[in-house]
Amino acid sequence: MFLSHRPGFLLGKDETASSKRMAQYIETYDSFVEHPRYGKRPKLTGLNPRHDDEGVWLNPELSDDYRIPGTAIQADLSRQTPATYQVTHYFDVKRFCRDCHRRFIFFAEEQKHWYEELGFPLQADAARCPLCASACNT
């Protein structure tokens, strides 16, 4: 009788822990500046390559603290502007806006657009949040 109740009890405990984690996760990104196209929460892809994985090159100028785990997307190396380094993956990264000092996400999808469609060098970084950046351009 006692034993048959245990699995249910444990499952209940796990559910509480994971909804707590989810609440924390949502709270963390609530204060972020919203991107008009991508929003303000990381886009989880489940892809999480690491520096020491074979055939993986990540931006050497970014510390792991800024990369949001599990948000990587594949890069197309043939489309990147030749630079001192290339990257095989882009991650959603956390950034501070130079102007308003709020936090925002420089999205993996946006990096792919910058470095593969617009031809920006890989050293180019987003210094301003989407709001300040668009205020700058108008």
Q: Which residues bind Zn ion (CB under 5 A)?
A: 97, 99-100, 129, 132
| In the complex, least distance from residue 56 CB atom to Zn ion, rounded to whole angstroms | 31
| In the complex, least distance from residue 106 CB atom to Zn ion, rounded to whole angstroms | 12
Q: Give me the long-range contacts of 56-62 (CB less than 8 A, separation at least 24).
A: 56/88, 56/89, 57/85, 57/86, 57/87, 57/88, 58/87, 58/88, 58/89, 58/91, 59/85, 59/87, 59/122, 60/85, 61/123, 61/125, 62/91, 62/93
Q: Which is nearer to Zn ion, 84 or 138 (CB)?
A: 138
Q: Which is nearer to Zn ion, 41 or 103 (CB)?
A: 103
| In the complex, least distance from residue 134 CB atom to Zn ion, rounded to whole angstroms | 10
| In the complex, least distance from residue 98 CB atom to Zn ion, rounded to whole angstroms | 7
Q: Which is nearer to Zn ion, 15 or 30 (CB)?
A: 30
Q: Which is nearer to Zn ion, 47 or 100 (CB)?
A: 100
| In the complex, least distance from residue 60 CB atom to Zn ion, rounded to whole angstroms | 26
Q: Which is nearer to Zn ion, 97 or 108 (CB)?
A: 97
Q: In the beta sheet, which residues pair with residue 137?
A: none
